[in-house]
């Protein structure tokens, strides 16, 4: 037995003894439908549990009312929370979000940038990680896109970013305020240039320079990845390179959590021996032991702004590309100045 076919306008029309268009008119609250007719049709709609099928409308209108969100991984707290915000924001605008995971692989990101092999969505919110900007700039797909994050700076694509240099400076300045002088930074990326790390490192460097504190290459610890484990290993390495380190700046919170674990394993007390600060303010940050000082980035702003930009483009706006910068603020918890 085949799957039961969904009720269509035609079914309702037949059952009510009117034309398909009349039913459509009732459904869409068109004027010029007599109240009694409306009643009759609505009764049949109720009886047959008719629900308009998006697909017909979409076909007619050329829009699907759906957006794609493409992020490296849904289970990274930052992206999970961003997705949460975006879904909520989209909902309030009557849009639906569909999720794609790239695993940060350039190949997958290329697919996403090139457009889905079949067209499904009206727009794309994309957080690329390893796709070269040049490829982004040259994409031929005409689906409107908004980039989220540091990448894609000069691609001529709308973008919602954050001021990573200032974030790095702020975090490091806070550590300096706490009286630290041997401040390490983990997660400075080794291979492909990772802009988030690069920029936050630039800010770190600026804070040191502003304070007249000498920079020391031994205080930098690179990694490839961007998760808890990499944070832990990167901190292991840092402790080896610079045993006298008294503070760690991690370019995101999960790495900072990894750092906490590494420090704990090495018997360093936080913040007494080593202070730690991260970036993102994920929920976990305020439940770590010790609770994690961090630079919070306004994710709701990112979600709302990305949607606004995207909706403009979907509406056919072809004004010059815009870049919005999400606000951030320092959140001091136990892991610094405890």
Partner DNA sequence: ACGTTGTAATGCAACGTTGGAGACGCGTTG
Partner DNA sequence: CAACGCGTCTCCAACGTTGCATTACAACGT
Note the residues at the interface with DNA (CB under 7 A): 5-6, 8-10, 18-22, 24-25, 27-28, 30-34, 36-37, 52-53, 55-57, 59-62
Toward DNA, which CB reaches closer, 32 or 191? 32
Q: Is 326 in the site for a copy of itself (CB under 8 A)?
A: no
Q: Tell me, rounded to whole angstroms, the distance of Cα 54 from its chain centroid.
A: 27
Supply the minimum distance, in Å, between the C-beta of residue 45 and DNA: 10
Please tell me the number of Cα atoms within 13 Å of 83 on its side-chain side.
18
3 state DSSP class of 207? helix
Q: Which does 163 bind (CB under 5 to 8 A by kind): DNA, a copy of itself, none?
A: none
Cα gap 159→111, rounded to integer Å: 19
Supply the minimum distance, in Å, between the C-beta of residue 120 and DNA: 12
Cα gap 123→69, rounded to integer Å: 9
In degrees, rounded to 5, the angle at the alpha carbon of residue 322 between the alpha carbons of residues 317 and 325 is 140
3 state DSSP class of 136? helix
Tokens of 146: 């908004």
Q: Is 43 in the site for a copy of itself (CB under 8 A)?
A: no
Q: Which does 21 bind (CB under 5 to 8 A by kind): a copy of itself, DNA, none?
A: DNA
What DSSP character marks residue 214?
P
Cβ atoms of residues 276 and 292 within 8 Å? yes
Scan residues 159-188 and list those touching a copy of itself (CB under 8 A): none
Toward DNA, which CB reaches closer, 27 or 331? 27
Toward DNA, which CB reaches closer, 39 or 240? 39
Q: Is 51 in the site for a copy of itself (CB under 8 A)?
A: yes
Supply the minimum distance, in Å, between the C-beta of residue 227 and a copy of itself: 8
Beta bridge partners of 145: 124
Q: Is 198 in the site for a copy of itself (CB under 8 A)?
A: no
3 state DSSP class of 279? strand
Tokens of 29: 């609250």
Cβ atoms of residues 231 and 257 within 8 Å? yes
Q: Is 96 in the site for a copy of itself (CB under 8 A)?
A: yes
The residues of the shown chain that bind a copy of itself, judged by CB under 8 A, are 1-6, 49, 51-59, 62, 64, 66, 73-75, 77, 80-81, 83-84, 87-88, 91, 96-101, 115-120, 140-142, 144, 228, 232, 257-258, 260-261, 264, 283-284, 287-289, 291, 313-316, 318
């Amino acid at each position: 037995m085949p799957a039961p076919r969904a009720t269509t306008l035609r079914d309702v029309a037949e059952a009510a003894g009117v034309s398909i268009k009349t039913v459509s008119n009732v459904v869409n609250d068109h004027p010029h439908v007599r109240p009694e007719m409306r009643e009759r049709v609505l009764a049949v709609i109720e009886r047959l549990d008719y629900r308009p099928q998006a697909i017909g409308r979409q076909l007619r209108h050329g829009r699907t009312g759906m957006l794609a969100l493409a992020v490296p991984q849904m289970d990274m707290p930052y992206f999970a929370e961003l997705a949460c915000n975006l879904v909520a924001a989209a909902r309030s605008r009557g849009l639906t979000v569909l999720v794609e995971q790239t695993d940060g692989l350039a190949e997958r990101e290329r697919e996403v940038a090139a457009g889905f092999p079949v067209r499904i969505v009206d727009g794309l919110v994309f957080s690329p990680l390893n796709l070269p900007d040049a490829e982004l700039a040259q994409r031929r797909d005409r689906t409107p896109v908004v980039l989220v994050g540091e990448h894609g700076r000069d691609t001529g694509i709308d973008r919602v970013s954050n001021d990573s240099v200032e974030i790095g400076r702020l975090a490091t300045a806070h550590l300096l305020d706490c009286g630290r002088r041997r401040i390490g930074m983990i997660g400075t990326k080794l291979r492909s240039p990772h802009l988030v790390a690069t920029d936050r490192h630039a800010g770190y460097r600026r804070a040191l320079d502003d304070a007249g504190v000498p920079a020391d290459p031994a205080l930098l610890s690179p990694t490839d990845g961007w998760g808890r484990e990499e944070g832990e290993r990167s901190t292991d390495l840092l402790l080896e390179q610079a045993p006298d380190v008294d503070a760690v700046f991690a370019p995101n919170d999960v790495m900072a959590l990894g750092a906490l674990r590494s420090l704990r394993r090495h018997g360093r007390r936080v913040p007494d021996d080593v202070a730690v600060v991260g970036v993102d303010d994920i929920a976990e940050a305020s439940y770590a032991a010790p609770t994690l000082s961090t630079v919070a980035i306004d994710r709701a702003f990112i979600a709302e702004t990305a949607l606004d930009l995207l909706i403009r483009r979907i509406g056919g706006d072809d004004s010059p590309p815009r870049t919005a910068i999400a606000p951030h603020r320092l959140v001091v918890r136990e892991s610094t100045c405890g």
